[in-house]
Chains A and B, each alone.
Chain A
């Protein structure tokens, strides 16, 4: 069965440092998509970045990049030069044909940026 694992329930990081949030996934489908969402304390879900299983290059969106290691089934989110506003919950999710394209979600990582 498909599964997303986020092993870091919480992280504290000093402002301006880079952050890596871990995500591993499990699927037997060669065609899948991986997503990262941010949920600040206000509660809304904000899309950050997407990586397709056939994409040759790691995805980047501004300060966000995805360290995609297909053989290891790993899709870690990297935030460069962290800011206080990055404090939030971060969720990794996957969509594939086995799940009928439904999003499978990890439990999330709570990131706190220290000034």
Chain B
């Protein structure tokens, strides 16, 4: 009963370093997405995917890359970390992008960039 699995839970990076946040779901969901949550704000969409091989940008895509080679996995890559990318990151998925389909969330990754 894994659902959406995100790793790592915590990460500290130095400015300029790169890293990949991993996200995997075992529910055969078509739709996967990455959000960031900053203090006092709602979630903001970084990138999303509506199926293997299909990705698109959200509201705040700069500095991040994604790929979707399988239905299950949707990694988020930080190319050159900046302090402005300090945030909590959530991966989320749903059966489809449809209006009635709720998102299932991972447990989040707290990222600090020094």
Q: Which residues of A contact B (CB under 8 A)?
A: 4, 31-33, 35, 43-45, 47, 50, 52-53, 91, 93, 95-97, 100-103, 105-108
Bound: A101/B32 CA distance, A? 12
Within the complex, the shortest CB–CB distance from A11 to chain B, in Å, comes to 15
Note all chain A residues with C-beta closer than 8 A to B92.
45
Total interface residues on B, CB under 8 Å, equals 26
Bound: A57/B103 CA distance, A? 22
Bound: A2/B26 CA distance, A? 31
Given A43-B108, A44-B105, A44-B107, decide whether A101 and B42 contact each other with a Cβ distance below 8 A.
no
Note all chain A residues with C-beta closer than 8 A to B90.
45
Bound: A52/B33 CA distance, A? 21
Contact with A along B84-114 (1 / 0, CB 8 A): 0000101010000111111111011010000
Select which of B40, B41, B100 is within 8 A of A52 by beta carbon. B100
Q: Would B103 and A50 count as touching, CB distance under 8 A?
A: no
Q: Which residue of B lies closest to A100 (CB)?
A: B97
Bound: A103/B105 CA distance, A? 13
Q: Which residue of B lies closest to A108 (CB)?
A: B42
Note all chain B residues with C-beta closer than 8 A to A103.
43, 45, 103
Given A31-B99, A101-B97, decide whether A106 and B42 contact each other with a Cβ distance below 8 A.
yes
Bound: A50/B101 CA distance, A? 9
Bound: A44/B102 CA distance, A? 15
Within the complex, the shortest CB–CB distance from A64 to chain B, in Å, comes to 14
